[in-house]
Structures are given as C-alpha cells and as structure tokens.
Amino acid sequence: MIHYQLCCDHGHSFDGWFRDSAGFERQAAAKLVDCPECGSHAVTRALMAPALGKPRATPVAPAAPVAAVAPPPGPMPAKLVALLQRVRAEVEANCDYVGPAFAEEARRRARAAEPEPPRGIYGEATEAEAEALRDEGIEIGQVPWVPRADG
C-alpha cells in the first residue's frame, strides 16, 4: 500500500492509502476520492517527505493484538461511516487478508528480492508490531474497521 498526503481544491489536507500510484489516479478520475471535510472530488497529491527507517537496537516485546483503530466514542457522522465503508470495500476487493500474520508478511514482502504481486495485504497487528514496522521503514496504515455497508 502507498500512503499519500492529499489535498482538495478548498485547501483541506488528509491522508489516503492506495495499492499503487495508478490506483490513486484511477480512483481520483472516477471521483471515488473525496475530501472528508467538504466532500470535494477535486483532490490532488501533496508533496511528501520519504519515510526513512531507523534501526532498532533491542527487539520489540509482543503486546496484545489490536484489530484496527477504534472509532471515536459516540455516534459517527453518516458521511464518515459511508466513507469508511467504501474504504473497507476497496481494501477487501483489492488486498489479500493475512490475519494475525500481518507484520510477518509485511516484512517478508518488504525484504523480498523478487517483486511481489501488485495486491496489498491487510490483517491484524499489535501496536508494538505496527511501531516496529514503521521503525523499519515499512509503510503501513491503520483504518477504522466499520461494519460493511451491506451487512
């Protein structure tokens, strides 16, 4: 997955995760990318600094698993729920579920000598595993996992 800093024509900034650069271009052209603040479909990629990993001196102790970012307390606005349902559908349609082996599979793919298939992965990782992946320069994202739109 590729992380992009995005901005709309009204100056709002937000993050987006895509399988690849072409995935962003395709979704933006189909007006599937919109600003979470104002709903504008005129969205472009902003300039970003590259993610640089730093070596870790000591191994990370395992912690309790977390499935995803917990949604904020109280009811979520309907537009936000609909947006997160679209994100979930996109992830499930275009990525492979690897379950609790997410951190291990992400490392394997990042270190592979041969290019991996263009599909991304999703699954569960502990907070410590997620932090370790980021420290190693492996880009990951956490998405609030809401119930499916059809379920």
Q: List, for residues 37-95, the tens digit of each pLDDT value.
A: 899 999 998 876 555 556 556 555 555 454 555 656 777 788 888 888 999 899 989 89
Q: Report pLDDT for 49.
A: 58
Token reading at 59:
């191994």
**Most confident by average pLDDT, 13-17, 59-63, 128-132:** 128-132
Do the bridges between strand 120-123 and strand 95-99 make them parallel or antiparallel, or are there none, so unpaired? parallel
Position with higher pLDDT, 1 vs 3: 3
pTM of the complete model: 0.49
Q: Report pLDDT for 148.
A: 84
CB atoms closer than 10 angstroms to residue 119: 11
CB atoms closer than 10 angstroms to residue 55: 7
- Mean pLDDT across the chain, nearest whole number? 82
Q: Report pLDDT for 57.
A: 60
User: What's the rounded Cα separation, in Å, for the pair 39 and 70?
Assistant: 23
User: What's the rounded Cα separation, in Å, for the pair 85 and 91?
Assistant: 10
Q: DSSP code of 59?
A: P
User: What's the rounded Cα separation, in Å, for the pair 27 and 5?
Assistant: 15
Percent of the chain with pLDDT over 90: 31
